[in-house]
């Protein structure tokens, strides 16, 4: 447990000691901030409610998904690829630490960083409530479930990124692979709108992150996506651990 | 007690055998040098010992425990400095060592005692607050060594600890290694021969994945040479000198070269005889003039050359 904490602290420190995390965080906030400005601007000419704004910000294919899909590889690409590239993986794995501890530390540090980035955006609904003339008071629950969705999706997508990073020695390859895999997952979930075949429709609908997140933002907490993302995360992390253990024999 | 016990270790990569069926033991407290040309399998063997790579076949035991089955326990007792000494460039020296001490499971009190100690041992006190990425290669190497030492391990595995250092730094590291020899068992690899002669009690020469020799540096020198060589410079008639010296008892071969008025000769004879006295007497008897007379001792360099390029090697 103590070793786990040490590893986690080091991983988190690695984000803050490199300029990359700051650059990523600044761009992230710029983009989400600009999206917020756009959404509020568009809605101001219509009748709108706060949930409408949040639905756009936390699930729209234009204002939410591009940022979400881009931020994941940025956070995970370095986790293993950097250590492999610089050789520090050798000092790390010859210390008396288990693969599980290392993988969990890297994953949870990436998740912590991911949540830190999303945290400021939680101010948006309150900003709208304070400065808009809409009379209906803010309903906090859809906002919370929307962020629960981000947490679950983030866990799964980040775990995919960690696995990709463990499989390659290059950060660029890791980032591209993560982007490709998560992109396929996301777009695979959109196939059901165009395909008539029942089986493909069913599968596509089941894995559709877009649909899941939209339901979360509307305050619908379904157990199926929770199980899907939790088990998906476990599977990805377990695969990463097994892959690393396989190298040791 | 043997701290390292390797039996029939084999490591195959796709299409290539890096280490083929090697066996050796290292006793507690020994300093053993792993010697071999690049690509001989030194690093692979050390990585397997350190638990970083799995072996394809064979048994590797450290302190009586199997490396792959009790990996975690074994790793607690090893201090490993990988080749090229990888470090986190963004961390500070003492911060890095504290982190490594934590990883190796040292309790807080031991950390407080060990980290300053290894900083001092490795001469890092002046740079302990510096960022590792800004340090010179020599200092970085010392940080790596300090990391290997921080948990006071029974066994130190050092892969090329002096590579890329200048002669002064090499001497410092060498002295440090010698100071450590009392309490730690050390296995170090290098392809710098004087280094092995200076620090190691025993040498294992690895060539193309096989151990081709294992002995003390002195004994190895004897094995290979099988003869004693004397270099001498004499002024006199060349043909007469060669003829006379060739006739001396115990002399096998004389090669000569004219250098101005002096004849430069290399006389080789049977091991165990000292030709110098006879040569000197001959010179006196013939009223020649002598300006040099010395034996050439076989160095580890000769041994290494003979074992890794000659018939035993196959590919040269």
> For B39-49, what is the mean pLDDT?
90
Buried b (16+ CB within 10 A) or exposed e, B127-149: bbeebbeebeebbbbbbbbbbbb
Least confident of A17-26, A105-114, B96-105, B304-313: B304-313
Closest chain B residue to A101, measured at CA: B103
Tokens read off for A84: 């492999």
Q: Which pLDDT does position B316 carry in this prediction?
A: 30
Residue B224 has pLDDT above 90, yes or no: no
Label residue B298 by pLDDT band (50, 70, 90). Answer: low
Q: B-chain residues within 8 Å CB-CB of A96?
A: 72-73, 75-76, 103-105
Contact between B102 and A6 using a beta-carbon 8 Å cutoff: yes
Decide: A106 and A79 in contact? Cβ < 8 Å.
yes
Interface probe with B: pick from A88, A95, A102, most Cβ of B within 10 Å: A95
With 90 as the cut, is the pLDDT of residue A42 above it?
no
Residues 152-191 of chain B whose Cβ lies under 8 A from any Cβ of chain A:
none
What mean pLDDT is predicted for residues B246-253?
Answer: 84
Structure tokens belonging to residue A223 = 């157990």
Q: What is the enclosing helix (H) or strand (E) of A229?
A: helix A223-248
Token pair, residue A110, equals: 């990436």
- What 8-state DSSP symbol labels residue B202? E
In this predicted structure, the answer to whether residue A112 has a pLDDT above a threshold of 90 is yes
A26-30, B54-58, B194-198: which has the minimum mean pLDDT? B194-198
- Rounded Cα distance, B202 and B33, in Å: 6
Whether residue A204 contacts residue A190, with contact meaning beta carbons closer than 8 Å, is answered with yes
- Averaged confidence pLDDT in chain B: 86
CB-based contact B296:B229 (threshold 8 Å): yes
In angstroms, the CA B177 to CA B81 distance is 13
Question: Would you place residue B93 in the very low, low, confident or very high pLDDT band (cuts 50, 70, 90)?
Answer: very high
Put simply, whether A222 touches B (Cβ < 8 Å) is no
Could you give the maximum distance between any two Cα atoms of chain B, in Å?
79
Q: What is the mean pLDDT of residues A172-198?
A: 89
H helices of chain A, in order, are 2-17, 19-43, 50-59, 65-76, 78-86, 88-94, 99-118, 123-131, 140-167, 171-188, 198-207, 209-217, 223-248
Alpha-carbon distance of A86 to A106, in angstroms, equals: 17
Set of chain A residues whose Cβ sits within 8 Å of the Cβ of B132: none
User: Do residue B72 and residue A96 have CB atoms under 8 angstroms apart?
Assistant: yes
Closest CA to B245 of B276, B209, B212: B276
* Strands (DSSP E) found in B39-160: 57-62, 65-66, 78-81, 155-159
Residue in B14, B10, B22, B12 with CA at minimum distance from that of residue B214: B22
Residue of chain B whose alpha carbon sits nearest to that of A84 = B86
B202-214 mean pLDDT: 87
What ipTM, to 2 d.p.? 0.87
**Mean pLDDT of the B52-76 span:** 91
- pLDDT tens-digit map of B257-297: 888 889 998 888 776 677 888 889 889 998 899 989 888 76
Backbone angles phi, psi at B160, to 5 degrees: 50, 60
Helix, strand, coil percentages (3-state) for chain A, rounded to 5, are 85, 0, 15
Is pLDDT at A93 greater than 90 in this prediction? yes
Tokens coding B286: 């013939």
Nearest to B29 by CA among B128, B139, B155, B218: B155
**Please, which residues 30-69 of chain A have a Cβ atom closer than 8 Å to chain B?**
none
Q: Which of A72-86, A166-180, B172-186 has the lowest mean pLDDT?
A: B172-186
| Range name among A102-116, A144-158, B87-101, B181-195 with the lowest pLDDT average | B181-195
How crowded is the C-beta side of A140, counted as CA atoms within 13 Å?
2
User: In this complex, do A90 and B104 lie within 8 Å of one another by their Cβ atoms?
Assistant: no
pLDDT at B221: 66
User: Which bin fits B119, alpha (ψ -120 to 50), beta or left (φ > 0)?
Assistant: alpha
If pLDDT is split at 50, 70 and 90, which confidence band does B119 have?
Answer: very high
CA dist., res. B81 & res. B79, Å (int): 7
A247 touches chain B (CB under 8 A): yes
* B195 pLDDT above the threshold of 80: no
Contacts of A91 in chain B (CB under 8 A): 80, 82, 86-87, 100, 147
When pLDDT is cut at 50, 70 and 90, the band that residue A16 belongs to is confident
pLDDT, average across residues A40-47 = 81
Mean pLDDT of A166-188: 93
Query: What are the two backbone dihedrals, phi and then psi, of residue B21, each rounded to the nearest 5 degrees?
Result: 55, 55
Q: Do A96 and B75 touch (CB under 8 A)?
A: yes
Answer yes or no: is pLDDT of B312 > 60.
Answer: no
Does residue B18 register a pLDDT over 70? yes
Mean pLDDT of B188-196: 79
In terms of C-beta density within 10 A (0-12 exposed, 13-18 middle, 19 or more buried), how is residue B108 classed?
Answer: exposed
Nearest to A169 by CA among A98, A108, A90, A111: A90
pLDDT-based confidence at residue B223 (cuts at 50, 70, 90): low
Taken in order B130, B133, B134, B140, the sign of the CA dihedral is positive
Is B235 buried (19+), middle (13-18) or exposed (0-12) by CB count in 10 A?
A: middle
Residue B204, φ and ψ in degrees, nearest 5: -110, 120
Q: Residues of A with CB below 8 A from B115's CB?
A: none
């Amino acid at each position: 447990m103590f070793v786990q904490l040490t590893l986690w602290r080091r991983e988190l420190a690695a984000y803050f000691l490199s300029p990359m995390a700051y650059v990523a965080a600044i761009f992230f906030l710029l983009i989400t901030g600009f999206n917020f400005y756009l959404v509020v601007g568009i809605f101001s000419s219509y009748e709108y409610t706060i949930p409408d704004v949040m639905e756009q910000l936390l699930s729209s294919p234009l204002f939410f998904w591009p940022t979400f899909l881009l931020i994941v590889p940025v956070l995970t690409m370095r986790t293993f690829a950097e250590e492999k590239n610089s050789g520090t993986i050798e000092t790390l794995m010859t210390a008396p630490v288990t693969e599980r501890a290392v993988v969990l530390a890297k994953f949870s540090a990436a998740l912590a960083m991911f949540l830190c980035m999303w945290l400021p955006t939680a101010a948006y609904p309150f900003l709208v409530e304070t400065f808009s003339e809409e009379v209906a008071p803010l309903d906090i629950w859809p906002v919370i479930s929307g962020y629960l969705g981000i947490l679950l999706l983030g866990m799964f997508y980040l775990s995919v990124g960690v696995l990709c990073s463990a499989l390659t020695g290059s950060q660029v390859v890791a980032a591209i692979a993560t982007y490709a895999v998560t992109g396929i997952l996301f777009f695979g979930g959109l196939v059901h709108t165009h395909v008539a075949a029942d089986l493909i429709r069913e599968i596509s609908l089941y894995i559709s992150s877009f649909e899941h997140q939209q339901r979360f933002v509307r305050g619908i907490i379904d157990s199926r996506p929770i199980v899907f993302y939790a088990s998906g995360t476990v599977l990805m992390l377990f695969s990463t651990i097994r892959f690393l253990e396989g190298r040791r024999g | 007690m043997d701290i390292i016990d390797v039996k029939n270790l084999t490591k195959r990569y796709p299409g290539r055998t890096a280490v083929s069926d090697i066996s050796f033991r290292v006793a507690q407290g020994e300093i053993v040098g792993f010697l071999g040309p690049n690509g001989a399998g030194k690093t692979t063997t050390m990585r397997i010992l350190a638990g970083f790579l799995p072996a394809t076949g064979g048994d590797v035991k450290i302190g009586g425990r199997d490396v792959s089955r009790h990996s975690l326990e074994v790793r607690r007792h090893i201090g490993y400095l990988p080749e090229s000494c990888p470090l986190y460039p963004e961390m500070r020296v003492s911060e890095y060592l504290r982190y490594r001490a934590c990883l190796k499971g040292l309790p807080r009190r031991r950390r407080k005692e060990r980290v300053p100690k290894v900083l001092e041992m490795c001469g890092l006190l002046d740079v302990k607050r510096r960022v590792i990425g800004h340090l010179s290669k020599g200092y970085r190497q010392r940080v790596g060594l300090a990391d290997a030492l921080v948990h006071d391990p029974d066994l130190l595995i050092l892969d090329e600890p002096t590579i890329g250092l200048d002669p002064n730094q090499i001497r410092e590291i060498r002295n440090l290694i010698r100071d450590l020899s009392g309490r730690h068992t050390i296995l170090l690899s290098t392809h710098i021969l004087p280094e092995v002669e200076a620090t190691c009690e025993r040498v294992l020469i690895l060539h193309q994945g096989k151990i081709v020799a294992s002995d003390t540096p002195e004994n190895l020198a004897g094995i290979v040479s099988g003869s004693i060589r004397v270099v001498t410079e004499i002024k006199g008639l060349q043909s007469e000198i060669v003829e006379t010296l060739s006739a001396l008892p115990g002399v096998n071969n004389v090669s000569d070269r004219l250098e101005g008025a002096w004849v430069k000769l290399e006389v080789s004879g049977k091991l165990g005889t000292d030709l110098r006295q006879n040569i000197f007497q001959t010179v006196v008897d013939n009223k020649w003039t002598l300006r040099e007379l010395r034996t050439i001792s076989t160095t580890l360099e000769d041994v290494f050359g003979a074992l890794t390029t000659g018939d035993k090697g196959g590919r040269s």
